[in-house]
Structure 1
Amino acid sequence: MTTRTQERPPPSGAESGAAYGAESGAAADAPRRLHTDPGLPDRIFRGVARSGGAFVLTVMLLVGGFLLYRAWQALDRAGWSFLTTEAWEPDAGRFGIAAVLTGTVLIAVTAIVLAVPLAIGGALYISEYASPKLRRTLISVVDLMAAVPSVVYGLWGLFFLEGAVLPTARWIATYLGWIPLFAVDGADPRDPLAPETVYTSSTLIAGVVVALMVAPIICSVMREVFSQAPAGEREGAYALGATRWGMIRSVVLPFGKGGMIGGTMLGLGRALGETIAVYLIISPVFEIQWHVLQNGASSVAALIALRYGEASPFGMSALMAAGLALFLMTLVVNFAASSIVARSRSGASSDA
């Protein structure tokens, strides 16, 4: 029995065209490497920008490496007790940053609590309520406040603000002294003739001065973020019958939430590292001082400024260790702030 093999007829012209179209379509779907020449000016700008970024990172790493190198002797001797010891007696072998680090955080938090509402109000007024002419004037004033040297703020706080704040501090201690944070040891609220020296050189006074220093920075960041709120969303809120405050509450503030947090953290980074203004106001104590109204405070930057001139070689290494801790803490805060600002909706557009 023979088997006949059935041969397939050759493809017609239509089938050949369809097969060629499928092959060409598959080739067209394959990704192609695009090569564009940006031109000499763009290449120069890209190189300059990358070089600038690399230079900044290099300088930052060199600063951190220098501090670590100079602080290694003290860190090697103190070990982990450097973070838990309150006293500062390097030559006697007892030194640590527990007290000064706590004081630094308290002063910075006090400053942020006072500065953030002021900055939010100023930024909203400048971006949403002020007339164009007044807006330009206020922007210039805020920028000039940010450029005032810290020693000027310190002198102002020492000779004027301290006396003006003492009655307020005494009132808070009298009526809110049952809160541990506002308690003052040695103060008698029932004695109207009690001396007010227990309220001088306190964390509160230093925090108020630092708040006035960081408020312009925070206000500038928030103002830029608020001004970038999408115009389409603003007009949509007005079209739905919202008042100006309703539009701000439903459009501007949600849009600028990331910028508000980032600006606050940038101000916190500045407050943590403030030196001269705090040094002029506080009375250093080397124990953990939780009472913000009471005489005596401390900070890492003020400690370095106070002990730098009289430090022995080992004491200098201990000061470098304190500076390294402040450097790392400020670096973490600033990086977190930059990350939050970069992930916010700032610069987003609206299709409305």
Structure 2
Amino acid sequence: MNSDKITRIVLFSVSILVLMLAAGMVYSLVGGSIPAFKAFGLRFIFSGEWDPTEGQEKYGALPFIVGTLMTSFAALIICLPLSFSTSLFLGEYFRGTRIARILGLLVDLLAGIPSIVYGLWGFYVMRPMLIDLGFGGQGFGIFTASLILAIMIIPYATSLSNEIITMVPNDLKEAAYSLGATRLEVITSVIIPNARSGIVAGYILAFGRALGETMAVTMLIGNTNFVPSSLFSTGNSMASVIANQFGEAEGLKLSSLIAIGLLLFVITGIVNWIGKMIIKKMN
């Protein structure tokens, strides 16, 4: 048996293993969610009630879906201008300079910091600052969690965008400069059109990380089981409610938490699918 055939067999086996793991994950989530959906039907997705009182248990995922989407979208909105500006600084304006190398190294280091560290920093530094500024009496809430999420995903999105920007061929940029284009015109007419699909893919990956973030959000969002009325109210995300309540849950409550995990899995899959469609339209 030649090496090429062995390589194909190994790669095929690994691919099948990955598919089996994914199928097993879906099977476990669906199986664990069945009691919750049997008890509440599709109302589980749209209900805002979360009452664990024995004998009158009512569970609904809406507060956590809304909390997850609000924190993630707010974090992405904060992240976009900051990470894109930094990636242009690193990949175009100061490309190859010492300051760009140092800043790029710092960005990569920040991207690898565990989320619990960001959560602690947000709890002991960001939260008191927001209290002093009048953003919530206790400093907890959607806005605080969104800020920390944005700080977490900015290095991630910046690193990916920087790599894509530096891959734009120099010949295209030099041709534009030779025709009298300014730096801004080169960025808007050459760099962005050639790099936009990769940049969008980077932001989608960053958004996906924000959707599933657990510990940092759990420490800062307030952990209340109600639909948040604004960015400055407390709430809960899908990941944080699972982290807070899974250890003590049993019966219908346990099934409801597993169902929330299944919904988070589905939402993440839908976001990735939408992202792929957007990238295809751009190409």
TM-score normalised to structure 1 length: 0.74
Counterpart selection for 1:56 from 18, 26, 46: 18
C-alpha distance 54-154 of structure 1, shift in aligned 2 (>3 A): same
Q: Which runs of 5+ in 1 are unaligned?
A: 1-38, 171-195, 346-352
1:35-50 aligned at under 5 Å gives the runs 40-50=2-12
| 1:153 partner amino acid | Y
Q: Percent identity?
A: 31
Q: In 2, distance between residues paired with 1:69 and 1:311?
A: 16
1:258-297 aligned at under 5 Å gives the runs 258-294=197-233, 296-297=234-235
TM-score normalised to structure 2 length: 0.91
Contact in 2 for aligned 1:259/1:340 (Cα 8 Å) = no
In structure 1, the partner of 2:67 is 103
Q: In 1, distance between residues paired with 2:199 and 2:142?
A: 25
- Cα RMSD of the aligned pairs, angstroms, is 2.1
Q: CA deviation at 1:340?
A: 4.8
C-alpha distance 217-74 of structure 1, shift in aligned 2 (>3 A): same
Counterpart selection for 1:76 from 38, 43, 47: 38
Q: Is the aligned partner of 1:317 residue 2:279?
A: no
Contact in 2 for aligned 1:108/1:210 (Cα 8 Å) = yes
Contact in 2 for aligned 1:263/1:337 (Cα 8 Å) = no
In structure 2, the partner of 1:5 is none
C-alpha distance 141-41 of structure 1, shift in aligned 2 (>3 A): farther
Task: Render the CA deviation track for 1:103-151: whole Å, top value 9, x for unaligned.
Answer: 1100001110111111111111111122424333333222221111110
Q: In 1, distance between residues paired with 2:189 and 2:175?
A: 11
In structure 1, the partner of 2:104 is 139
Q: Is the aligned partner of 1:308 residue 2:246?
A: yes
Where 1:264 maps in the other structure, the secondary structure is: helix
Task: Render the CA deviation track for 1:48-98: whole Å, top value 9, x for unaligned.
Answer: 333333322221221111111111111111101101111212542311101
Q: Which one has a bigger Cα radius of gyration?
A: 1
Q: CA deviation at 1:313?
A: 2.3
In structure 1, the partner of 2:83 is 119
Q: CA deviation at 1:254?
A: 1.3
Q: In 2, distance between residues paired with 1:43 and 1:343?
A: 37
Task: Render the CA deviation track for 1:265-306: whole Å, top value 9, x for unaligned.
Answer: 111111111110011112122222131023x12111111111
Relative to total residues, which structure has the larger helix share, 1 or 2?
2
Q: CA deviation at 1:328?
A: 1.2
| 1:86 partner amino acid | G
Query: Number of aligned pairs?
Result: 280
Q: In 2, distance between residues paired with 1:320 and 1:221?
A: 32
Q: In 1, distance between residues paired with 2:182 and 2:78?
A: 28
Task: Render the CA deviation track for 1:199-235: whole Å, top value 9, x for unaligned.
Answer: x211111000011111122112211221121222111
| 1:159 partner amino acid | Y
C-alpha distance 55-130 of structure 1, shift in aligned 2 (>3 A): farther
In structure 2, the partner of 1:334 is 272
| 1:197 partner amino acid | G
In structure 2, the partner of 1:222 is 161
* Mean Cα deviation higher: 272-281 or 128-137: 128-137
Q: Which runs of 5+ in 2 are unaligned?
A: none
Where 1:289 maps in the other structure, the secondary structure is: coil
